[in-house]
Amino acid sequence: MQSGADGKPNRYAVVSVLGLGQILAWGSTFYLLAVLAPAILRDTGWAYDQVISGVSVGLLTAGIVSPRFGRAIGERGGRSVLALGSVLIGTGLVVLATAQNLPWYLAGWLLIGAGMGAGLYDAAFATLASIYGRDSRSAIASVTLFGGFASTVCWPISAVLTAHLGWRGACLSYAAVHLGVALPAYWIALPRRSFLAASSHPGAPGLRLAGQEIWLFALLAAVVTIAAAILSMMGNLVLQLLQARGMELAAAVAIGALIGPSAVGARVVESFAGHRYHPIWTMIGSAILVAAGTLLFLLRFPFIGVAIVLYAAGNGIGSIARGTLPLALFGPARYPTLMGRLGLPIMMAMAAAPFGGALTFQVGGADWTLGMLAALALLNVVLVALLWQLSRRLGSHS
């Protein structure tokens, strides 16, 4: 891979490989069962909640291993970690494809989850920071643009593969791409080391959080965790919520289809304009848009599409803020380790939120569910305001 005078690899090549890798990684893990679950149910006779629980097992595993992978990226760079992620996801998909019982199926998701901890956004963002340091913001934003197309690209592919090869063949096909394409691409495109200073070892003096920095990180962790919970809950329940508001399924699907383009569109705007202001403002904008969207949904705003667009746009730029704000607040030396730590509550929230949302919907219907979502979104606005104030006091933003 061609390198610049500073020895760093070509930015466009790195962003392209990481971005395409995110489409594959998200599409063959988090978004996999949206298409494959019906075929798995027909083939195995397992209950729906048993099949879907695989994603929760994967997310929980990803959260547990994420801190360790973050430290490894800070010390040695992201090539070996992302390559390992491809191996783990690919191997896990092979285990899924050969599963004849539920424990074997869930074992496959354990492997996939470990690969998710090594191969999704947090690892990709940490890798970019380990190469480009404080100049990573535009690269992080670009990778989120790629990632936003994961379901758009992979759902049709999954449907075609399942129709022609069955769900087991679809898993094996994705495994082949991980092992035969993504793995060598990471190994070729990414540098074998971190470009952070040698003193940036996570255990080095002065690199641990101290004093009010601990509170700053705690606030940041709370904000991104709540945002992840809202995203996961809404993503799993949006069609049911729309139908509970009186829509036919076809209309609900059409309105729900606005989420993807709205999120990507907001990311495009932020990618062009974001370099002009501190990432804290991206996070503030994200929290306000999500709160506005959920409140309009709760209050039965007559143009429900507007509520969905606002919510989706807020979540879209929230992905960018999640990657760029920790870099701005804490610097590149600590960034990989901190991103790994943030992965733990984020993944656990994404795993637990759908169950909490489904229970609330079952007990209280759409109003209770939307009320809970709106309350969480408003809480996040308050927490982001506190984060902004504390960051100003510490001189962490301008």
For residues 271 and 138, state if they share a domain: no
Where is mean pLDDT largest: 152-161, 172-181, 251-260, 365-374? 172-181
**How far is Cα 269 from Cα 267, in angstroms, rounded to an integer?**
5
Q: Is residue 133 part of a domain?
A: yes
Tokens of 245: 């508001």
Mean pLDDT of the 176-196 span: 92
Predicted pLDDT at 276: 84
For residues 155 and 261, state if they share a domain: no
**CB neighbours (10 Å) of residue 136?**
23
Give the domain CATH number at 127: 1.20.1250.20
Classify residue 265 by burial, with Cβ atoms within 10 Å: 0-12, 13-18, 19+.
middle
For residues 230 and 152, state if they share a domain: no
Residue 125 confidence class, pLDDT cut points 50, 70, 90: very high
User: Residue 186: which residues within 8 A CB-CB, separation 6 or more?
Assistant: 17, 21, 79, 82, 83, 86
Q: Is residue 84 part of a domain?
A: yes
Q: For the whole prediction, is pTM greater than 0.85?
A: yes
Residue 209 confidence class, pLDDT cut points 50, 70, 90: confident
Query: Is residue 203 pLDDT above 80, yes or no?
Result: no
Mean pLDDT of the 195-218 span: 69
The residue type found at 95 is V
Count up the domains in the chain and report the number: 2
Q: What is the pLDDT of residues 350-376, one digit of tens each?
A: 989 888 888 888 888 889 999 999 999
Q: Which residues of 378-397 are buried (b: 16+ CB within 10 A; e: fewer)?
A: eebbebbeebbebbeeeebb
For residues 59 and 159, state if they share a domain: yes
For residues 303 and 245, state if they share a domain: yes
For residues 236 and 158, state if they share a domain: no
Mean pLDDT of the 13-20 span: 95
**CB neighbours (10 Å) of residue 208?**
12
Q: Is residue 207 part of a domain?
A: no
Predicted pLDDT at 275: 77
Higher confidence at residue 206 or residue 238?
A: 238
For residues 284 and 258, state if they share a domain: yes
Residue 2 confidence class, pLDDT cut points 50, 70, 90: low
Residue 10 confidence class, pLDDT cut points 50, 70, 90: confident
Lowest-confidence segment of 125-129, 140-144, 248-252 by average pLDDT = 248-252
Q: Is residue 204 part of a domain?
A: no
For residues 172 and 259, state if they share a domain: no
Mean pLDDT of the 210-238 span: 91
Mean pLDDT of the 302-327 span: 92
Tokens of 164: 């022609």
Predicted pLDDT at 365: 87
Helix (H) or strand (E) holding 159: helix 150-177
Higher confidence at residue 169 or residue 75?
A: 169
Predicted pLDDT at 211: 82
Q: Is residue 82 part of a domain?
A: yes
For residues 242 and 342, state if they share a domain: yes
Query: Is residue 5 pLDDT above 90, yes or no?
Result: no
Q: Is residue 35 part of a domain?
A: yes
- Of 62, 387, 358, 381, nearest to 227 by C-alpha is 381
**CB neighbours (10 Å) of residue 92?**
28
For residues 54 and 85, state if they share a domain: yes
Mean pLDDT of the 7-26 span: 92
- Of 186, 231, 175, nearest to 352 by C-alpha is 231
Tokens 């229970």 identify what position? Answer: 359
Mean pLDDT of the 244-256 span: 83
The residue type found at 325 is L
For a pLDDT cut of 90, what percent of the chain falls above it? 62
Predicted pLDDT at 207: 62
Query: Is residue 198 pLDDT above 50, yes or no?
Result: no
Lowest-confidence segment of 129-138, 140-149, 170-179, 248-257 by average pLDDT = 248-257
Which range marks the domain in which residue 258 is found? Answer: 212-393
Q: Is residue 348 part of a domain?
A: yes
Mean pLDDT of the 57-72 span: 94
Predicted pLDDT at 199: 44
CB of 112 closer than 8 Å to CB of 100: no
Q: What is the pLDDT of residues 263-292, one digit of tens each?
A: 889 999 888 887 788 999 999 999 999 999
CB of 39 closer than 8 Å to CB of 94: no
- Of 58, 160, 161, nearest to 105 by C-alpha is 58
Q: Is residue 202 part of a domain?
A: no
